[in-house]
Amino acid sequence: MENENLTLAASQLDRTLSFFPRVDGKVSWLFAINTGMLGLSSLNIKPEDLRLWYVGVPATITAITIGVSMFFLYRCSFPHLEGGKASLFYFREIARRTESNYIQEFASASAEQRTRDLLGQVWRNAEILNIKFDAVRISFFLTAVAIIPWCWFLASVSLVHTQVPTVK
């Protein structure tokens, strides 16, 4: 029974870890979209444009929403990794030991100890995943919200820059 529980716990940890690439993939394309939006905005603006309310307001809203979106992307990319004290499976705890101590501790652990340790890792990784998914969801929402003032900004700047001066 103990070996069956150990196998199930290892399988559950693998399943939990398989979700990380999904969320990290979303971070990459959201970062690219946000960077592209900011880059295109910066190429189209002149300092004097910001004096016009219909350019400055959407530019500010866009910059703020994308900035906050980027903050959540950072939070997703670098979550807090505390926990797993004395774990035989958590990479940071393994690295704190010497090689010989780790091998000795792992070899002397019972199946029940390993199962409990694995289940602790499942729980902690699920907690980290929850933080990452929430951060990506918020970032996605903010990027979507930023599209409206960004389009307003680009249209306004385009109008300002294409105005032909009148000849007197």
Range of the domain at 12: 2-83+114-162
What is this structure's pTM?
0.84
Amino acid at 10: A
Residue 168 lies in a domain: no
As a whole number, the mean pLDDT across the chain is 92
Q: Which long-range contacts (CB under 8 A, 24 or more apart) does 91-98 make?
A: none
Residue 71 lies in a domain: yes
Residue 141 lies in a domain: yes
Residue 89 lies in a domain: no
Encoded tokens for 83: 């926990």
Q: pLDDT class for 165, splitting at 50, 70, 90?
A: low
Question: pLDDT tens-digit profile of 97-142?
Answer: 999 999 999 999 999 999 999 999 999 999 999 999 999 999 999 9
Q: How many CA atoms lie within 13 A of 110 on its CB side?
A: 5
pLDDT at 2: 75
Residue 109 lies in a domain: no
pLDDT at 168: 67
Q: What's the structural domain count of the chain?
A: 1
Instruction: Quickly tell me which residue has 């090689």 as its tokens.
Output: 99
Q: What whole-number distance in Å separates Cα of residue 151 and Cα of residue 145?
A: 11
Residue 90 lies in a domain: no
